Chains A and B, each alone.
Chain A
Amino acid sequence: MSYHFETVQKTGDNIYFPLEISRVYVDPRNIVARDPDNFKRYVFLTNFNESFESNWSNPPGAFGQLNPSYKYSQTNRRIEITFKLPARNVLDSKSNLDFCSKMAKLVYGNYSVQVEDANQGNLVLLPQLGIDPTERTTLGSVRYNFEGALFNIRVNFGSLIQNEFAFFTNFSFTPNFDAGVFEYSNRPVQGQYGLGDYQDQLAAQGYGKLTDDAHVYHFDPGVVYPKELEVSISFTVLHDYPLGFGGPRRPGESLKWAQNENKDWPHGTPESYPKLEYMSKDDIKLPNTPQINPNPTPSPRHTTVSGSTVKYTIDSSGNIIIED
């Protein structure tokens, strides 16, 4: 976890839980391509609102019919969280801003990059071909292909959100300027440093001579670091396990919760706390699912650059390997 002011860090570690977000990268074959990006931070919750919306279709009924015939469609779980990120020093504020920058990216969806080959008119995966961008080539403009929303984000927030996949629908960021900002200072200290530079250097060394709440100036001219941020996020939870009663994981047990994990849902209780009978786990054998080979043999592909054919393969990590 990034830097926290000491008291917040200690309280969080002992009692509270962080808001934790991880982004899993998968290649086109749905294989996890690299380690997920994880970022987490203790937040000061101001609002937590969760909505469970059950959708039913309602075809037109007979004239004067008292109760229409409803047909169940789905239930959507949407969550809105609002929180504050206060900062006691410059480093705390920078960490808050960094956390917000990472979260803001989550609403932008997924892109891949291709470049048009001016001679051939076809599209080439430029970055994977390893061409020096400063080199003069016949390649034309860069194209960004929008590949849709990000569905590979997991959110964990203590027992309220138990490491669920989420589709982010909103991110809102508001610095509270009334709370104040940390400012740039070039005032000389000990005849040589600017005050901001001096404090930044001591902070980088782990606050030796400087108490951590004294780090209130920095050496980035033109920049202010807010002492408080207000952040609001909204997302829809996408469950990767069955929800309902009965179902494939509960053969012959139509009254039990479908997840079959001996875990309370949607909000958790401690593992040691007894679960209700309908939530308890049954030992059942799930039907065999086809195994995915984690190291498939890469199949050769080819593309054309400036009239010559380039052969390449994609390895299990998603890297493009050019063949001679």
Chain B
Amino acid sequence: MFKGATSAGAEAVGRGYRLIFVHQATGHTVEFPAAIQSFTDVHAPEFSERVFAGRMDPIYQQSAVSRNIEFTFVVANGSVEEARHNRQSVNLLIQMLYPQLQEGSDLAYGSYINIKGLSFLNDGNDDPAVACLIKNINYSLEMDQGFITPTRLAEPPTTSAARATQGEIYPILLTITISATALIPTIHSFEEADQLLNSEEWQQPYPPDYPNYYKKI
């Protein structure tokens, strides 16, 4: 995250508003100021419905539940230096949607991505990161906010340094929307299962605190 004095990054670090993505397969990490514009969390049961003649209510057969999240955040560029840094950060975030390639074969393995920093996304584990399967990243330029460029030339660039930055234009604001399926944490250890069994909680394969919209992790 770019942390220049007047940058959004410096403000975000000061307040702890950080949005962190970790690519599980490679360990690559990228961080943005958590300038969240929207957040939606849908817990959707998957079921089939059957109706019968003469029977008032349908019969439901539920198979599983999926947790689908969608959130939008903005990346603001206050200077050319910040814009260049953010471009590389956004590039890495996009690259996380691509697989790890196997040498000498056509095999490619996708990776889960841990998302950390959205307090609504906690899943009841001690680890504040939630493993997600990101299905879509939408990258959109906010035209009305304008652009930023290192070039201020009234005449064509003559020096090699000026030519190197010719055509280098960055949006002042860009919007990124992420759609993902969050993995539901499961209890595997006998110890945890035993605790749950002896408590008055309902019996379930996921932690009693899941999902958790308010508890600070």
A residues adjacent to B (C-beta < 8 A):
13-17, 45-56, 60-61, 63-68, 70-72, 75, 158-159, 242-248, 250-252, 254-255, 257-258, 264-267, 269-273, 275-276, 278
Contact = CB atoms under 8 A, between A and B. Distances in A.
A90 B138 CA distance: 38
B134 A54 contact: yes
B65 to A, nearest CB: 8
Interface of B: 25-28, 63-66, 84, 87-88, 90-92, 94-95, 97-104, 108-110, 133-141, 143, 149, 151, 153-157, 161, 164-169, 183-184, 186, 205-206
Contacts of B103: 246-248, 250-252, 254
Contact of A246 (B84, B97, B100): B100
A212 to B, nearest CB: 19
Nearest to B153: A14
A278 B186 CA distance: 33
A305 B141 CA distance: 58
Contact of B143 (A47, A158, A245, A246): A47
Nearest to B149: A15
A49 B138 CA distance: 7
Q: Which 8 A-B pairs have the closest CB atoms?
A: A72-B110, A247-B101, A17-B167, A244-B101, A50-B139, A48-B141, A244-B98, A52-B137
A246 B107 CA distance: 11
A75 B108 CA distance: 11
A61 B66 CA distance: 12
Contact of B64 (A13, A64, A266, A275): A64
A272 B63 contact: no
Secondary structure type dominating chain A contacts: loop
A98 B137 CA distance: 34
A61 B166 CA distance: 53
B63 A63 contact: yes
A271 B164 contact: yes
17 contacts: A14-B155, A17-B169, A47-B143, A48-B143, A51-B138, A71-B110, A159-B87, A159-B168, A159-B169, A244-B108, A245-B101, A246-B101, A248-B103, A270-B84, A272-B164, A275-B88, A278-B28
Contacts of A242: 101
A245 B154 contact: no
B47 to A, nearest CB: 12
For B84, B97, B156, the residue with the greatest tally of chain A CB atoms inside 10 Å of its CB is B97
Nearest to B152: A15
A75 B64 contact: no
Contacts of A50: 138-140
A65 B184 CA distance: 10
A269 B80 CA distance: 11
Contact of B184 (A52, A67, A245): A67
Contact of A273 (B84, B98, B133, B166): B84
A65 B62 CA distance: 11
Contact of B110 (A56, A61, A250): A56
B156 A254 contact: no
Nearest to A75: B97
